[in-house]
């Protein structure tokens, strides 16, 4: 039987490192051993042993020596090269400075973004079972499109674990962002805290370490609670002391989900790389008991997280989950599992198909590209300057070559020179980094830290190395190719190709800069538009107070007394925020509701005067009024809800809401209460009258111009009811802005990066112009002597730059048009692109170019021709 | 007298070369060490040790014929030199001297 023989690459590898004179004997031994082993143990094991043998042959006495024997003065040469480099830097300080400033800025940008991207990518990925951790998502097939949501029926978690063997653990938590801070009381200490409501297996699914308490037991009891280490230290001065203590949570008459709880565990403060935020957790069972129709499968109040068994096919599991829910409720929605850790970066779904449409990942990509561009711009400066200035090095190269230097030697020299610069730049970049990191953190809302981590240092070194190699690649090849004879005879002329390349690099720099400027303008215009857009309600001068402390008991008094204060127009109360509200229900039905289609509305429960406080326009019907006795069975809906239900004239119609027949008394005009990415969603407003239930939010509309006075009065009133409580308030327009937090950050960041890109480009241009003017000094002088006017010379020198800018602009225009319309297209309401955005960008670039080039040309044009002509 | 500088593993290799009486080459020496010396040895360790021994003059080599079984690769035969022989004898005599001086030790258990 003929054997196949060991893998070729291993033989080749061995041949590569083995001393040639002993290679064939050892190879013979290896082959003999291999054949014997193959017969005894089979090929697989034989190959493995063979590879091991080859690896073990890698020893000093067997590997071939590195061949440096033909230049023993290798080190001397390197040292000498270094010296020449340093002399060159000294001789030409401007170029050196431009290179170092440009490269270090570019590197610093790259480092900042590198750290940021790494942080973003690591978000939520630290959980032990990350690869099996999923969230259940629901696809709603609505009349206006498809909507993917993360709310699910409250019993889903439990049912899934019982019915499907593929699911090993499951937990339900309260869905959405509608979790309001509450007040925690221990003896006479009051602390504000953010709650979470979660089922028993929470800590088995999520890897938030517990300092005290057993992860299986802590949430078992209905009145148990787990608090954070920070909270424990604040209230009990040690986390150990906290165990077994009894605390009161929102324990006031008329407040939802309040009670007395016993602390059963303390968890370690949440790490910065989690998207969850809460200070304490209450059991799911408790939450369940506070809500009346929470167990209804038609309601979706909870988020559901599951751990699947290993090796489970997610697609078929999705179908099973869909079927489980379909068997419990009257209509069918699609359910699917989404990787929990992908939620942070890929949160968005489009309306048309319900497909994933990105999310924060877009910004991660965007900024990676921007960082790369800035670094490239800096590299190109280096390339441009060193090739342009090649004439100053020609003699050196010529002499070296005639003395016997090979092309390799010269390439090495130039590469080491640029590596030297890039490592000097690296040091400065790290300096910039430490200086600007706090500011960067503030803009991005991160807690990045520069530490001497091995990985980080290695990445930085690698980036600097690549930058150095990249920027030296062209100059090294170009400069080392000079023929010594022509160089020494001064016969080198710039070739066409070289000029074109240099111009091409400048065009790239300017194209990038122009695209960045246009993007910044577009982003700012859009953000401005959003801030000032008429949303259909009045968001100015509305104060938001939290309904806590003694307020819930005295709410009616507070509302009516506050309304009497000078400067106060209206007061009201509701259970949730208006802006960004996501309090969905599908518990609505009417005569003629299609069987197969789902309909969900946002619901807000308010007291009187809510519509007046927010200045919401009514299309028909009326607002809630005290004149009509109790109005708890009445609803006000918006146009989107009316259209969605297919009712043309809804006022006066009776529909079924949460199992009761209610009358629609008013129709609101559509107003934009969510982010402008979305169309207006259906909304209903219902009233709660009486003292039992009151919502978290107290709204006070203040007359404009009297804000300060009014706030003082309100503070006084607040202090009477809640003595000792801090008077904390916010304004509605602020919470509106927080909807666009990430856009704001992008706007600020892109502005900084655009400025940097332009500055580095102009810096390069400045260096180039300085040099070219110097080089053409004689020509200019001769022209002047022959009668050229200064203005003509300026024109002559500026012409090529004008051309470059024009070309760059015509490339940048379509790119930025495409980018801008794409980005704006993701908003439901957006600005129209105007020509002046592009004009302004062009003007900026022209002005900046002229500032960096013009001064040089002007100086050259005004110089006394004798100065340049007499030295020959 | 520190005339001979022979490591423990080198000694074993040298012994194996001696045992094979000039017929030893890479694989056969390796097998000799593995069977008689009751220890496993990698090709790399063996080769680097052989190179060292040759440099010290303890062994000499001869290039063998090319055979079919080794895909045409030649064998390199190793033979112990007189100098190598004396090194082995020296090593042995040093040990013998120590053994002769060794008192009868009884291993006490507890």
The DSSP code sequence of A143-175 is TTEEEEE--B-TTHHHHHHHH-TTEEEEEEEE-
Q: Which residues of B touch A24 (CB under 8 A)?
A: 73-74
A228 phi/psi in degrees, rounded to 5: -80, 160
pLDDT (mean) for A10-27: 85
Q: Is the pLDDT of residue A689 over 80?
A: no
Place of tokens 């013979």: A28
pLDDT band per the 50, 70, 90 thresholds, residue A417 = confident
Distances (CA, A) of A42 to A7, A32, A48, A207, B28: 14, 14, 10, 45, 21
In a domain, B53, yes or no: yes
Length of chain B: 110
Q: How far is A27 from chain B (nearest CA, A)?
A: 7
Contact A32 B48 (CB under 8 A): no
Predicted pLDDT of residue A493 = 64
Report the number of distinct structural domains present in chain B.
Answer: 1
Return the half-sphere exposure (C-beta side, CA atoms, 13 A cut-off) of residue A68.
7
In a domain, B101, yes or no: no
Contact A29 B71 (CB under 8 A): no
Return the half-sphere exposure (C-beta side, CA atoms, 13 A cut-off) of residue A867.
9
The DSSP code sequence of A6-39 is S-HHHHHHHHHHB-HHHHHHHHHHHHHHHHHHHH
Q: Is the pLDDT of residue A616 over 70?
A: yes
Contact B47 A24 (CB under 8 A): no
The shares of helix, strand and coil residues in chain B, as percent rounded to the nearest 5, are 50, 15, 35
pLDDT (mean) for A136-141: 86
Contact B73 A24 (CB under 8 A): yes
- A632 closest CA partner among A687, A552, A692, A553: A687
Mutation target for B interface from A3, A22, A28: give the one with most B CBs within 10 A.
A28
Distances (CA, A) of A676 to A146, A155, A264, A343: 17, 33, 43, 21
A205: left (phi over 0), alpha (psi -120 to 50) or beta: alpha
Chain A residues within 8 Å of chain B (Cβ atoms)? 5, 22, 24-33, 35, 52-53, 55-62
Distance CA A248, CA A190 (A): 10
Q: Which residues of A touch B52 (CB under 8 A)?
A: 61
Q: Is the pLDDT of residue A405 over 90?
A: no
- Tokens encoding A541: 């001068």
- A109 closest CA partner among A292, A347, A297, A367: A367
Distance CA A282, CA A196 (A): 6
Q: Which residues of A touch B44 (CB under 8 A)?
A: 53, 55-59, 62
Point out the least confidently predicted range of A68-72, A128-132, A188-192. A68-72
Place of tokens 């130039």: A414
Distances (CA, A) of A516 to A366, A407, A520, A524, A651: 11, 40, 6, 12, 51
The number of beta carbons lying within 10 Å of the beta carbon of residue A84 is 15
In a domain, B71, yes or no: yes
- CB A182, CB A157: distance < 8 Å: no
- pLDDT tens for chain B, 110 residues long, are 456 778 888 899 999 998 888 888 888 899 989 888 888 888 888 988 998 888 888 998 888 777 676 777 888 889 999 998 999 999 899 889 998 888 876 665 55
Point out the least confidently predicted range of A94-98, A324-328, A589-593, A834-838. A589-593
In a domain, B33, yes or no: yes
Q: Is the pLDDT of residue A143 over 80?
A: no
Predicted pLDDT of residue A401 = 85
Place of tokens 């000078």: A566
Please count the residue pairs, one from chain A and one from chain B, whose beta carbons lie less than 8 angstroms apart.
65
Q: Is the pLDDT of residue A68 over 60?
A: no
Q: Is the pLDDT of residue A429 over 90?
A: yes
Contact A58 B44 (CB under 8 A): yes
Per residue in A738-780, pLDDT (tens digit) is 777 777 888 888 888 888 888 888 888 888 788 778 777 888 8
Q: Is the pLDDT of residue A176 over 80?
A: no
Place of tokens 């090593």: B91
pLDDT band per the 50, 70, 90 thresholds, residue A70 = low
Per residue in A485-532, pLDDT (tens digit) is 777 776 666 666 777 887 888 888 888 888 888 888 888 888 888 777
- A853 closest CA partner among A800, A777, A808: A800
Residues facing residue A542 across a β-bridge: A701
- A575 closest CA partner among A856, A788, A291: A291
pLDDT (mean) for A476-485: 80
- Tokens encoding A274: 């989690």
pLDDT (mean) for A97-120: 90
In a domain, B100, yes or no: no
- A765 closest CA partner among A849, A856, A860, A855: A849
Residues facing residue A141 across a β-bridge: A146
- Tokens encoding A180: 């309001």
Contact A29 B74 (CB under 8 A): no
CA A380 from centre of chain: 28
Q: Which of B26, B45, B71 is facing A26, going by the closest CB pair?
A: B26
ipTM of the complex: 0.84
> Which domain, by its residues, includes B35?
8-95
Per residue in A719-728, pLDDT (tens digit) is 888 887 778 8
Give A148's contacts (C-beta < 8 A, 6+ positions apart).
A137, A138, A139, A140, A349, A354
Predicted pLDDT of residue B1 = 43
In a domain, B76, yes or no: yes
Distance CA A31, CA A39 (A): 12
Distance CA A825, CA A832 (A): 10
- Tokens encoding A826: 């993701």
Q: Is the pLDDT of residue A850 over 50?
A: yes
- What CATH number is attached to the domain comprising B49? 1.10.10.10
A688 phi/psi in degrees, rounded to 5: -120, 130
- A189 closest CA partner among A232, A252, A228, A241: A232
Tell me A265's DSSP state.
E
Q: Which residues of B touch A48 (CB under 8 A)?
A: none
Per residue in A254-272, pLDDT (tens digit) is 455 678 899 999 999 988 8
A661: part of which helix (H) or strand (E)?
A: strand A660-668
Distance CA A399, CA B73 (A): 50
- B36 closest CA partner among B54, B59, B15: B15
In a domain, B108, yes or no: no
Mutation target for A interface from B13, B27, B61: give the one with most A CBs within 10 A.
B27
Residues facing residue A302 across a β-bridge: A152, A174
Q: Is A202 exposed, middle or buried, given 0-12, 13-18 or 19+ CB atoms closer than 10 A? A: buried
Point out the least confidently predicted range of A160-169, A606-615, A723-732, B23-32. A723-732
Predicted pLDDT of residue A307 = 92
Predicted pLDDT of residue A491 = 63
- CA-nearest residue to A26 within chain B is B26
Q: Which of B48, B52, B70 is facing A31, going by the closest CB pair?
A: B70
Place of tokens 């107003």: A671
pLDDT band per the 50, 70, 90 thresholds, residue A691 = low
Contact A53 B51 (CB under 8 A): no
Contact A24 B26 (CB under 8 A): no
- Tokens encoding B65: 């014929």
pLDDT band per the 50, 70, 90 thresholds, residue A1 = very low
b/e string for B44-78 if b means 16 or more Cβ within 10 A?
bbbbbbbbbbbebebbbbeeeeeeeebeebbbbbb
Mean pLDDT, chain A, whole residue set:
83
In a domain, B104, yes or no: no
The number of beta carbons lying within 10 Å of the beta carbon of residue A316 is 9
Tell me A479's DSSP state.
H
Distance CA A374, CA B85 (A): 72
């Amino acid at each position: 039987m003929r054997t196949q023989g060991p893998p070729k690459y291993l033989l080749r590898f061995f041949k590569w490192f083995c001393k040639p004179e002993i290679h064939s004997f050892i190879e013979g031994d290896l082959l003999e051993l291999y054949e014997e082993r193959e017969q005894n143990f089979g090929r697989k094991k034989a190959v493995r042993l063979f590879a091991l043998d080859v690896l073990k042959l890698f020893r000093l006495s067997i590997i071939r020596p590195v061949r440096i024997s033909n230049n023993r003065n290798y080190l001397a040469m390197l040292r000498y090269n270094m010296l020449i480099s340093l002399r060159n830097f000294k001789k030409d300080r401007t170029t050196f400075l431009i290179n170092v400033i440009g490269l270090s800025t570019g590197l610093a940008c790259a480092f900042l973004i590198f750290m940021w991207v790494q942080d973003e990518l690591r978000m939520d990925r630290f959980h032990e079972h990350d690869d099996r951790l999923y969230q259940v998502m629901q696809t709603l097939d609505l009349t206006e499109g498809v909507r993917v949501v993360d709310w699910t029926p409250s019993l889903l978690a439990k049912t899934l674990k019982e019915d499907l063997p593929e699911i090993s653990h499951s937990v339900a938590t309260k869905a959405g962002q509608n979790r309001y801070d509450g007040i925690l009381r221990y003896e006479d200490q009051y602390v504000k805290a953010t709650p979470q409501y979660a089922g028993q297996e929470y800590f088995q699914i999520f890897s938030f370490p517990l300092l005290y308490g057993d992860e299986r037991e802590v949430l078992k009891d209905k009145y148990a609670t787990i608090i954070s280490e920070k909270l424990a230290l604040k209230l009990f001065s040690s986390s150990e002391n906290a165990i077994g203590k009894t605390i009161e949570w929102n324990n006031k008459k008329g407040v939802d989900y309040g009670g007395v709880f016993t602390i059963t565990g303390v968890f370690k403060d949440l790490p910065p790389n989690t998207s969850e935020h809460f200070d304490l957790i209450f059991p799911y069972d408790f939450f369940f008991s506070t809500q009346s129709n929470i167990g209804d499968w038609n309601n979706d109040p909870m988020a559901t997280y599951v751990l699947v068994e290993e090796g489970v096919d997610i697609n078929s599991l999705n179908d099973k989950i869909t079927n489980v829910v379909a068997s419990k409720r009257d209509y069918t929605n699609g359910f699917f599992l989404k990787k929990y850790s992908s939620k942070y970066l890929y949160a968005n779904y489009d309306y048309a198909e319900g497909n994933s449409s990105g999310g924060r990942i877009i910004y991660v990509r965007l900024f990676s590209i921007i960082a790369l561009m800035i670094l490239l711009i800096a590299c190109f400066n280096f390339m441009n300057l060193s090739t342009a200035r090649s004439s100053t090095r020609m003699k050196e190269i010529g002499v070296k070559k005639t003395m016997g230097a090979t092309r390799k030697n010269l390439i090495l020299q130039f590469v080491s020179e640029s590596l030297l610069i890039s490592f000097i730049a690296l040091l400065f970049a790290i300096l910039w980094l430490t200086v600007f990191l706090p500011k960067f953190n503030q803009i991005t809302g991160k807690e990045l830290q520069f530490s001497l981590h091995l990985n980080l240092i290695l990445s930085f070194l690698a980036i600097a190395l690549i930058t150095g190699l990249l920027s030296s690649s062209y100059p090294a090849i170009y400069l080392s190719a000079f023929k010594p004879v022509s160089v020494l005879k001064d016969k080198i002329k710039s070739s066409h190709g070289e000029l074109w390349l240099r111009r091409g690099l400048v065009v790239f720099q300017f194209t990038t800069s122009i695209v960045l400027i246009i993007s910044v303008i577009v982003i700012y215009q859009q953000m401005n538009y959003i801030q000032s857009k008429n949303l259909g309600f009045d968001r100015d001068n509305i104060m938001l107070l939290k309904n806590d402390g003694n307020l819930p008991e005295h709410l009616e008094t507070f509302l009516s007394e506050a309304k009497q204060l000078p400067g106060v127009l209206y007061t009201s109360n509701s259970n949730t925020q208006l802006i960004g509200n996501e309090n969905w229900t599908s518990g609505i039905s009417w005569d003629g509701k299609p069987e197969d289609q789902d309909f969900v509305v946002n619901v807000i429960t308010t007291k009187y005067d809510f519509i007046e406080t927010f200045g919401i326009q009514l299309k028909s019907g009326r607002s809630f009024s005290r004149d009509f006795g109790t109005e708890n069975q009445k609803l006000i809906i918006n146009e989107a809800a009316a259209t969605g239900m297919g009712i043309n004239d809804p006022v006066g119609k009776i529909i079924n809401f949460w199992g009761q027949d209610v009358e629609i008394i008013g129709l609101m005009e559509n107003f934009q209460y969510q982010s402008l990415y979305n169309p207006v969603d259906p909304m209903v407003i219902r009233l709660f009258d009486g003292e039992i239930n009151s919502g978290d939010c107290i709204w006070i509309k203040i007359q404009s111009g009297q804000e300060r006075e009014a706030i003082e009065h309100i503070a006084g009133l607040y202090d009477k009811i809640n003595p000792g409580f801090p008077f904390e308030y916010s304004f509605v327009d602020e919470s509106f802005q927080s909807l666009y937090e990430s856009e704001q950050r992008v706007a600020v960041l892109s502005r900084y990066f655009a400025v940097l890109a332009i500055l580095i480009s102009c810096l390069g241009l400045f260096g180039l112009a300085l040099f070219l003017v110097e080089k053409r000094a004689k020509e200019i002088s001769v022209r002047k002597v022959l009668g050229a006017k200064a203005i003509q010379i300026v024109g002559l020198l500026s012409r090529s730059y004008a051309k470059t800018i024009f070309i760059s602009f015509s490339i940048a225009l379509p790119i930025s048009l495409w980018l801008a319309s794409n980005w704006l297209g993701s908003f439901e309401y957006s600005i129209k692109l105007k020509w002046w955005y592009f004009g302004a960008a062009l003007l900026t670039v022209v002005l900046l170019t002229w500032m960096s080039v013009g001064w040089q040309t002007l100086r050259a044009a005004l110089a006394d021709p004798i100065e340049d002509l007499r030295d020959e | 007298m520190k005339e001979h500088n022979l490591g423990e593993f080198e000694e074993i290799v040298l012994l194996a070369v001696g045992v094979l009486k000039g017929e030893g080459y890479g694989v056969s020496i390796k097998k000799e060490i593995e069977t008689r010396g009751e220890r496993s040895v990698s090709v790399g360790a063996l080769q680097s040790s052989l190179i060292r021994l040759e440099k010290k003059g303890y062994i000499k080599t001869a290039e063998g014929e090319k055979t079919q079984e080794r895909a045409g690769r030649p064998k390199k035969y190793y033979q112990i030199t007189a100098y190598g022989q004396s090194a082995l004898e020296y090593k042995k005599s040093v040990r013998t001297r120590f053994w002769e001086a060794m008192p009868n030790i009884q291993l006490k258990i507890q």
